[in-house]
Amino acid sequence: MEVNGSSNSASNPRGPAVDAPIGPRKELVLTAIVENYIANGEPVASQSVARQHNREGMSAATVRNVMAELSEAGFLEQPHTSAGRIPTAQAFRYYVEQLLRRKSSARQVLPQPTQEQIEESFTGVANATDFFARTSHILALLSGGVGVGLGVTAATADWELLEHVHFTRLGVARVLTVLVTTAGVVRDRLLTLEHDLTPGELETAANYLNQNFHGWALERIRQELTRRMDRERNEYNQVLCSLELWAKGAMDPMADRNSQEKSIFMDGVANLMVNEADRRHLREIFLALEEKQRIIDLLNAYVDSKQPSVRVVVGLEEAIPEMRDLVLIAAPARRGAEHLGTVAVIGPTRIQYASAIGTVTYIADLFGRWAAQP
């Protein structure tokens, strides 16, 4: 179990980032401040900490002195409009390191109902693609962050049938394509077209595909679009737009038939939006998340076959500037010693660390048990 922080460069993500011990009294106060801030999102006052720890004989004056020392050491900062303190990234890293030092198993951290909910969510998983797709959903649901499942997957006929497709214009000649299959697999790709399409044209193309090809195999859709373009001239514009988007690789099934590839599934981006400031920041985060190769590179930088267990990275802005104030909690998904993927949460620094770490660890362990089945 390891912790990394923004003090590490993106090119050397495995460098040391663990802070030296600060002593039991400071650690007690720092833990109280971090946990209060995670719970409430407000600066924490000395009186509040003193009330929590009056049995340890710490008065408000004593707590104020300790908070001043923690501030000088870079663990706390003071908003100019408040007498309270808030934890810095360094404080969150120290807090997480203490959590990981306890080395509690996921089964000890997670309540029994949560364990049962996770187990039930993966009932009937047929292949790795299905497992990683469900991983993203359950992690988003339980963590309040963005759930991520990245793994080696192989194409199978049961998840290549169209449920629905959606196109979103992100800029001039740039289109985000999101496809959902009848098996519940979500795939998306960012396309660069030769000419711009309006939101209305994209909506028309999506409606045409959804109304005419629900339940069809992806390759069969491509073949039928080509045939209809020649035959049904009255539908020419709709078919031409749909065919162009398809041909650009939006749903090209041939890329998924090449033995094995890495697929990434993400769910829960809206979890990051809780107020107006987050709303303005959300579009930047969304665009960064949709450039999936950047996320794959991020996960590959911090999680590899040599990593023994979960890793927590506080401060992702050096790797991806749009992800300031976000944290990565990730663990390798293995079959024995073989590294087949990554289970991860990307969330705010105020995430419930113990629960998120436990959930990521539990699902990674569950993958190992599932993959080991004959």
Model pLDDT for residues 202-213, shown as the tens digit of each residue: 888 889 889 988
pLDDT value of position 48:
87
Bridge partners (DSSP) listed for residue 347: 327
Q: What does each of the 374 residues of the chain score in pLDDT, given as a tens digit?
A: 456 654 333 334 433 344 566 888 899 999 999 999 999 888 998 888 888 876 566 788 888 899 999 999 999 998 876 678 999 999 999 999 988 887 666 666 789 999 999 999 999 888 888 899 899 999 999 998 989 998 865 544 445 678 888 888 888 888 888 877 776 566 667 788 888 888 888 888 889 889 988 988 877 887 787 777 666 555 556 666 766 676 565 555 444 444 345 678 888 877 776 554 555 666 677 777 767 778 888 888 888 766 677 899 998 887 788 787 889 999 999 888 888 889 999 998 999 999 999 999 999 999 999 988 87
CATH code for the structural domain at 12-87 = 1.10.10.10
Residue spans in the chain of domains classed CATH 3.30.450.40: 106-154+261-371
Per DSSP, the three-state class of 77 is strand
Q: Which CATH superfamily includes the segment(s) 106-154+261-371? A: GAF domain (3.30.450.40)
**What is the CATH architecture of 157-257?**
2-Layer Sandwich (3.30)
pTM for the structure as a whole: 0.69
For 148, the enclosing helix (H) or strand (E) is: strand 146-153
Distances 374 to 27, 255, 278 between C-alpha atoms, Å: 47, 28, 46
Residue spans in the chain of domains classed CATH 1.10.10.10: 12-87
Q: Look-up: residue for tokens 């292949």? A: 127
Which DSSP category does 235 fall into?
Answer: G
- Strands 2-5 and 311-314, how do they pair? parallel
Are the C-beta atoms of 240 and 229 separated by less than 8 Å?
yes
Residue spans in the chain of domains classed CATH 3.30.390.10: 157-257
Which DSSP category does 161 fall into?
Answer: B
pLDDT value of position 11:
35
Terminal-residue alpha carbon distance, the chain = 29
pLDDT value of position 289:
74
- 87-142 pLDDT, tens digit per residue, is 999 999 999 998 888 766 666 678 999 999 999 999 988 888 889 989 999 999 99
- 329-362 pLDDT, tens digit per residue, is 999 998 888 888 899 999 989 999 999 999 999 9
